[in-house]
Structure formats: C-alpha cells, structure tokens
C-alpha cells in the first residue's frame, strides 16, 4: 500500500478527486523554543517528528523580530493524520510565524484528521500567528485547535481562516465535519474561548445565526493587556469588501470576525487590521511576510 504522502502527491499531480486516506496517517510534531539573545530573538531549540518543519529563521525587520515559516511537505492533511505544533516564546522575544500556502484537508472515508497548536508567551514577549487559510474539502473530517497561554504582560495577535469546500471549482461542503476550538488564557485564567461544530450539508450552515450559507469564515484576536477606545474605533473603521465583518472587545481582548465568499477578502481584512494594531502591540509598522507574495 502506498504511503499517505505518496497518495497526496498523486492527487495533486493528476487532479483526481479520490479518497487519499488509509486510516494510518502521519503523526507529526514540531516544537520551537525562542529566546532573547542581546537585541535579537533567536530560535534556540527545535525538534520535529514526521513531516513538519521550519525553514531557517528570518530577520526581515530590525531586531528583535524572528520570523519562521512552518512547512508541511505533504501539502495536504489526510484522515488519520495528527499534527501538533508547540511554540514557546521566552521573555522579551518577538516571534512571527506564518505558512507558505493554504492547509488542505482532504476527503476522508471516516478517519478524523487533527491539527493542534499550542503557543506559550512569556513575560514581555509578543507572538504574531499569521497562517494562511485552511481549505476543508467536501467529505473531510477536520479537528483544529489553537491554544494560547500568556504571561501577565505578554502580547499576542493572530488569526484563523477557514474555507468549506474548494469554492474555486464550485465544490460545497455537503459531507464531512469540522470542529474548531480557540482558547486564550492569561496566567491560567481563560480570557476567551470559541468553539464550533460544523456538519457538512447541515441546514444550520444556511442559518444567519451560523454562516448564512457563506463558505469562508475567520476569527482574529489581539491582546496587549489594555485596548483603548481609540484603537477599537480605528479597527472598526477598517472596511471589509467581499463579506461581512465586525470587531468587538471583551476585557483586554479585541476580536474580529469575517464571514463571506472570498478567502482573499478575509485575508485582506485581517491583514489591514494587523497593520492598524501592530504599532500598538509591537511599536512598529507592519511589514508583510515576503512568503505571502510567492
């Protein structure tokens, strides 16, 4: 029997719409630890098992920012796969993570695929979690979790964008399931939690209380300990073309939502908010990761 990776590559090359899981799947883990070294953030330790990697650390801006690109060489996530990423940002570090392309969740005969990310941010540190979107194919069974743990004065800004079905080819999410969880804690206290359970083809997907029939949705969160009224107003003034969007605030956390038909519109909206928020969180203007242009 061919490996999951070999079957994914075959599907990518010939375009066939077939099931690619055999129930075994990859068990991939990636652990990254960052520390402050003088004026610079350095990737002090990294370990991995299975097909999860980071390219070499980049320094596209002035110190102390350290940027890493998380790479998943198989290019797709298959039923039975289990992916886990751990990011530990030490005191006074500034870490930015992104991805080179969309995460593709392939159709499954039943086995569940999961991806779990844990981010721990120490005192005075800032983590920017800026992945590209997840595309959940019709018939996929996806479980996605992002958990952020902050020290008292740590900062975080990040987003998650999902697209149900390959909308560019007219596919809709009529079968399968997607479960998503996002948890934000400060010193062990839960600040905000978001969970969703979506079943392919369910009538609830058409409800205005859920997605209103839209295939693309996303959430962005930012926290710096305090969020003043002027910053909230500036975020609410950002226009969203190609979908519906809103920004709200709970104690110490800004939350932005997007629902619509366009991944590009969701990306643009969140990236524009990031440009507004970054000076307040990082004390510097936003510089788009170069990998986004490739």
Provide CB contacts within 8 A for 107, sequence distance 6+. Answer: 17, 19, 20, 137, 138, 139, 140, 176
Output the tens digit of pLDDT for each of the chain's 294 residues: 333 333 333 333 333 343 444 456 789 999 999 999 999 999 999 999 998 999 889 999 877 899 999 998 887 999 999 999 999 999 999 999 999 999 999 999 889 999 999 999 999 999 999 999 999 999 999 999 999 999 999 999 999 999 999 988 889 999 999 999 999 999 999 999 999 999 999 998 998 888 999 999 999 999 976 678 889 999 999 999 889 999 999 888 999 999 999 999 999 999 999 999 999 888 889 998 888 887
What 8-state DSSP symbol labels residue 169?
G
User: Alpha-carbon distance 144 to 108, whole Å?
Assistant: 16
Nearest to 99 by CA among 60, 123, 141, 67: 67
User: Alpha-carbon distance 159 to 146, whole Å?
Assistant: 10
Token pair of 275 as six digits: 């440009």
Give the global pTM. 0.89
Q: Does 251 sit behind a cis peptide bond, omega within 30 degrees of 0 on the bond before it?
A: no
């Amino acid at each position: 029997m061919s490996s999951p990776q070999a079957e994914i590559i075959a599907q990518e090359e010939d375009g066939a719409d077939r099931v690619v899981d055999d129930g075994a799947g990859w068990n991939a883990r990636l652990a990254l630890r960052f520390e402050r070294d003088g004026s610079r953030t350095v990737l002090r330790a990294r370990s991995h098992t299975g097909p999860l990697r980071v390219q070499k650390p980049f320094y596209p801006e002035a110190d102390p920012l350290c940027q890493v690109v998380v790479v998943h060489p198989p290019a797709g996530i298959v039923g039975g796969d289990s992916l886990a990423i751990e990011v530990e940002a030490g005191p006074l570090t500034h870490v930015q993570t992104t991805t080179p392309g969309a995460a593709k969740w392939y159709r499954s005969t039943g086995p569940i695929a999961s991806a779990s990310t844990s981010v721990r941010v120490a005192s005075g540190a800032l983590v920017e979690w800026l992945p590209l979107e997840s595309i959940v194919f019709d018939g996929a069974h996806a479980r996605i979790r992002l958990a952020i743990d902050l020290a008292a004065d740590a900062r975080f800004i990040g987003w998650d964008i999902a697209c149900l079905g390959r909308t560019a080819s007219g596919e809709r999410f009529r079968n399968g399931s997607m479960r998503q969880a996002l948890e934000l804690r400060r010193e062990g206290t839960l600040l905000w939690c978001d969970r969703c359970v979506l079943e392919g083809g369910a009538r609830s997907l058409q409800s205005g209380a859920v997605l209103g029939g839209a295939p693309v949705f996303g959430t962005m969160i930012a926290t710096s300990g305090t969020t003043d009224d002027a910053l909230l107003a500036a975020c609410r003034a950002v226009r969203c073309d190609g979908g519906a969007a809103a920004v709200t605030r709970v104690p110490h956390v800004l939350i932005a939502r997007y629902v619509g038909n366009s991944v590009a519109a969701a990306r643009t909206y969140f990236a524009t908010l990031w440009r507004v928020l970054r000076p307040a969180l990082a004390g510097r203007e936003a510089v788009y990761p170069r990998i986004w242009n490739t």
